[in-house]
């Protein structure tokens, strides 16, 4: 999700103060893209390009076609031993980065 000005330009820093309540709401509660889908904040991406990306996720509780939030966090790994908040966040964010296989390492 990316929030921009009506002209399509990026928001200026001075506008974030006025919209802070809306960003807080998105992060705490989520947002509905359609009437039956509530997208909730899953995590943020610490992009090398500084794209300010947040990942929102919808769980299909009715048909169970995708992972629940708990299952998604279990899939990402156990980060409970990472006590430094920045490192903990960075470890989870690695799950959202793209990578390509370059060589195969036998183990």
Q: How far apart are CA 96 and CA 41, in angstroms?
A: 13
What are 19-61's pLDDT values in tens digits? 888 888 988 999 998 888 989 988 877 665 455 677 888 888 8
- pLDDT greater at residue 100 or residue 72: 72
Q: Hey, is 63 helix, strand or coil?
A: coil
Model confidence band, residue 107 (pLDDT cutoffs 50, 70, 90): confident
What Rg, from alpha-carbon coordinates, does the chain have?
Answer: 17
DSSP secondary structure string for all residues of 9-54? PBPPHHHHHHHHHHHHHHHHT-EEEETTEEEEEEEEE--TT---EE
Q: How far apart are CA 3 and CA 11, in angstroms?
A: 7
């Amino acid at each position: 999700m990316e929030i921009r000005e009506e002209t399509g330009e990026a928001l200026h820093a001075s506008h974030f103060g006025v919209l802070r309540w809306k960003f807080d709401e998105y992060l705490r509660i989520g947002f509905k893209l359609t009437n039956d889908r509530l997208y909730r904040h899953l995590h943020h991406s610490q992009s090398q390009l500084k794209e300010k990306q947040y990942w929102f996720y919808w769980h299909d509780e009715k048909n169970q076609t995708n992972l629940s939030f708990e299952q998604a966090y279990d899939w990402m790994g156990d980060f409970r031993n990472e006590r430094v908040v920045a490192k903990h966040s960075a470890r989870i964010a690695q799950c959202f980065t793209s990578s390509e296989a370059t060589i195969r390492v036998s183990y």
